[in-house]
Amino acid sequence: MKMAILGYGVVGSGAYEVLTKAGYPVKRVLDIRPHAELGDVLTMNFDDILHDDEIGIVAEAIGGLSASYAFVSKALAAGKHVVTSNKHLVCHYYRELRELAAKNGVMLRFTSSAGGGIPWLYNLKRCVRCDRIEKVMGILNGTTNFILDAMIRDGRRFDEALSEAQRLGYAEANPSADIDGNDVARKIAISANIAFNTVVSEEMVLTFGLRNFRKSDLAYVSEKFGRTVRYLGYGARVGEGIALFVEPTLILPDSLEANVGKNNNMISLFGEVVGRLAFYGQGAGKYPTGLSLAQDMIDIYNGATAYLYEPEEVTVDNGAYRRKYFIRTKAQTPFDFYDHVDRVGDVSYIVTREISVAEMHDAAHLLLEEDADSFFAGFEPQPD
């Protein structure tokens, strides 16, 4: 069986180099740009791959939704295994592509779509076979972690740190996906689909961005609460359903997350049987993500079979997950869940009682209307 890679950008070229160096047969690479180093392997016509019976594994690393969806669905329908690093595609078309793969007796793998180079989804999936996952939680965006680390360790300002993340190539072309949380929301939706054997969409993930975080917030939470800050995604069983959210979070300085530096990611699963397992490494980049894409291809090449479960209907209930929050705002209207308010000039620093994630996000909309710079962060409870 031979392999093909769709897209010769950052991830596709990384996967190609990893695979060819290790001696795996990549017969074709599809790209719209010329790449002399690829010689006859390069094609600009997808039909050269679709109609080649020798090619049984197709890796998609084009990104976006339209071309990637057309190629991936055609490849699955033609009985080819598909591997993708495209979180947008996996989030948007999970149910449909999963069904198409099952109907055609082929595999759909997407380990590199959440966690980049970290074999997170692969191991999450293995755990689900014989354990009940209670929670997934962690740092799933390198850009925001790089910004926080630069602010905390080097005293940089938010905007300086963001510019540096862009210069180093960590940030998405439009960094809003990073600093407003959509990137993490997608990765949490994909992780929740595996952890809870269901199909949720990124729209179900309540998301509050990091863009309003300031050095003065860091100084305040550090002095008053002995906490530091990380930007975390959560998927957790609660009541009869699950909660899905992305928030700046106040954590203890000796926690694992607080010690994740630079643009690294770290995500944990909490299994009823296994307890906590944490996975750390590079969540993006040519070789980490390219290698993870290649690993999925090699698994299939070596005969791996799919773990097929029918997805279950799970209720997303962000009203059931409760915790305390820190808020910094100039908005005057108080909420009845404020527990403690500290005024410094025209700024209020607030600690809430335990409230639900949904209540906090609803309140944030109103706070932002009055003061567009308002910021909040959830208190991660002390571990038992």
| Residues at the site binding ligand HSE, with contacts judged by CB under 6 A | 116, 141-143, 170-172, 178, 183, 283-284
> Smallest distance from the beta carbon of 303 to ligand HSE, in angstroms?
30
Residue among 137 and 364 whose Cβ is closer to ligand HSE: 137
> Smallest distance from the beta carbon of 312 to ligand HSE, in angstroms?
27
Residue among 25 and 281 whose Cβ is closer to ligand HSE: 281
Q: Would you tell me the crossing angle of helices 182-195 and 87-103 to the nearest 10 degrees?
A: 30
> Smallest distance from the beta carbon of 342 to ligand HSE, in angstroms?
33
From 27, 80, 135, 187, the catalytic residue: 187
Residue among 4 and 284 whose Cβ is closer to ligand HSE: 284
The answer to whether 74 is a known catalytic residue is: no
> Smallest distance from the beta carbon of 339 to ligand HSE, in angstroms?
34
Residue among 141 and 198 whose Cβ is closer to ligand HSE: 141
Distance CA 170, CA 182 (A): 15
Q: Would you tell me the crossing angle of helices 286-301 and 10-21 to the nearest 10 degrees?
A: 50
Phi, psi for 291 (deg, rounded to 5): -65, -40
Q: Cα dihedral angle (106, 98, 96, 232), rounded to 10 degrees?
A: -140
Contacts for 362 with CB less than 8 Å, ≥ 6 apart = none
Query: In sequence order, which ranges of the chain are alpha helices (DSSP H)?
Result: 10-21, 47-50, 66-77, 87-103, 120-128, 142-154, 158-167, 176-179, 182-195, 215-225, 286-301, 357-370
Stated as kind and residue range, the H or E segment containing 36 is none
Residue among 87 and 135 whose Cβ is closer to ligand HSE: 87
Q: What is the CA radius of gyration of the chain?
A: 22
Q: Cα dihedral angle (233, 238, 242, 243), rounded to 10 degrees?
A: -40
Distance CA 115, CA 269 (A): 13
> Smallest distance from the beta carbon of 187 to ligand HSE, in angstroms?
7
What residues act catalytically? 187
